Chains A and B, each alone.
Chain A
């Protein structure tokens, strides 16, 4: 039983991370029907943004108070990257055949990884992420369960982000505009909504959450490297599809489900095909199964026609 609960804790941690990234896929897809394949790189750049903020401003400091500023630095770098990316690469391709933006996304993804590898000092190998008091260090023991301090941060960050996101989407003009555009961009435009602006905001929103995820990953793993975005991005996309792409609640539910499923697979699939070596395989098998048998995802997708 302890093992089971322990894996739930691990799964929730991992799942929160996936959910933070998955929101970015889902928001953008809901509005422009584009799989922003480079979103994983935005997440990676967020982590490097946080590290850079710490290295430049607070090197040697480990107090909790630097964390909000690191997060802010991460968010700024990620949002800038995403907005520039949208403006330069994606916007001119709106209306082009589907293949074009997807290949562009792969191009951006490779470009961003390489840019970080080549131009961030020392990024050719793993970089140590700073230890911050309270959120890193020895684990907490709660009734036989071990809880990483960084896990508390990750789950908390997701909870706060989700509340803010809900508020933004449902209670602000911009958020309602976003909903309108995702339902019918042409009509929304006729109603006086600036669609281009909404799209930029969707990219920025996703990037901000991914940046928070980047900081969480840095704290969890205690190191970051330029490759971290690829697999994380792919998993987060899986999570978005699992929950129903285009559906924001879906992304969060999907992320948590995927995280827990992965942890359970590590612990409870018996024999040689269990264990951490196969958890990624099981995650992708899950993706394929969902796409084949329930392509609209757990909570239903906003976008019905996916031709």
Chain B
């Protein structure tokens, strides 16, 4: 989880990823950030996130992103 927060902070260093729960719904992350985030996640965790998984619920918080990564790795 700490590693993921680091990755997230590398995408945007002005967002409190540990505590924000509405990254997408609250329009905290832009679509540009999401693209950058997804390509980083793909590289760092060696996964490929299917388009159908790219929905707000999976990206609203660091926990949700963590759960998604774990699911795809499993």
Are the chains A and B members of one assembly? Answer: no
